[in-house]
Amino acid sequence: MSKLFSPFQLGPYALQHRVVHAPTTRLRANPDDSPSELMVEYYAQRASAGGLIITESTHVSYDSRGYLGAPGIYEDSHIPGWKKIADAVHAKGGVLFMQLGHDGRQSHVDLTGGPLPIAPSVVPFETDVLTHNGWVPASPHRAIDIDEIQLVIEYYRKAAVRAKAAGLDGVELHSANGYLADTFLQDGTNKRTDAYGGSIAKRARFLLELVEALVSVWGPGRVGVRLSPSGQWGSISDSDPEATFTHVAQQLNKFGLAYLHIIEPRVKGVETLDEHQRPVASEFLRKVFTGTIISAGGFNGEGAEAIVRKGDADLVAFGRFFASNPDLPYRLRHRLPLNDYDREAFWGGTHVGYTDYPAYHASAFARAA
């Protein structure tokens, strides 16, 4: 029997399988950052009975934006659109968590409304962000004042309140991929000498205070955290990632999280878990984190089954293959061929490469015709 398709209790939610829709930025929100009807259709297509969907990164404040077209939850006006998505997922028996994020220094003054993007410290780097003028280099950033940090934490708390009002089932803190929380945590980007920088414990403080704020709204079993110990996106780095992320995982144990979501390098676990494709972060964090672990990182069905059987992860998140296969759990369970994904349609656009991928039975019918 496949363990990937065995039941699992995620906090208060009874999942029927362990295939998770990963938070995948697609940039198809309305101009006011509210969810579009196209987004409602996308999530409804990918919902399954007892399946967990984590939404794309959702901005907690106007000035936290880094990519035009990403949705927000920083205004009450955003709640109705998210409620439509939650209702659509629930109608198919699915569970929906919202990923909350602040893009930090990966932004531009055209997106923040004028202020410089913020980071724990000024560490020059190069990346492109999406604005009304297309993909452009990120603006220079500034170090956030210590007095402002509590204001940002309050943005997250209010966003969590709005997500709850919209009828979602939980929230995930995006502390990965070189965005704001991740830059506080890692010493390649955090050069502060105050209470939020220096030692691992001080660098982890911002992340842990964010988690505390989210749990104050949702309670235990309904908040997840996403980390990328091996990540390099956004020019992120740490001198001792195993020590840093081990400390964080140990500290997260006290919150009763729904899960810890770990991003592995994409080359890890694509085929089977041999010595060259071993998701090392999930393995070393499993030794210290006592709760549920979700692993993500380019897995196929065989790799996902292997890591769950090995015990280094309880669930496996899929991004690219879920993008092109709305019925991915069904296809993996029955070992059916997968639709190819269109990378050119990942970030922004229309329904093409977004909601026009057929389910297996529909594609089989098309081939027969």
The residues annotated as belonging to the active site are 179
Q: How many residues does the chain have?
A: 369
Rg (CA), the chain: 19
Q: How far apart are CA 303 and CA 282, in angstroms?
A: 13
Q: Is residue 302 classed exposed, middle or buried when 0-12, 13-18 and 19+ CB atoms within 10 A define those classes? A: middle
Kind plus residue range of the DSSP H or E element containing 226: strand 223-227
Neighbouring CB atoms inside 10 A of 111's CB total 26
According to DSSP H, which parts of the chain are helical? Answer: 37-46, 79-91, 109-112, 146-165, 180-185, 200-203, 205-218, 241-252, 280-286, 301-310, 320-324, 328-333, 360-368
Helices and strands counted in the chain (H then E): 13, 15
- Which residue type occupies 213? A
* Contact predicate 23/226, CB 8 Å: yes
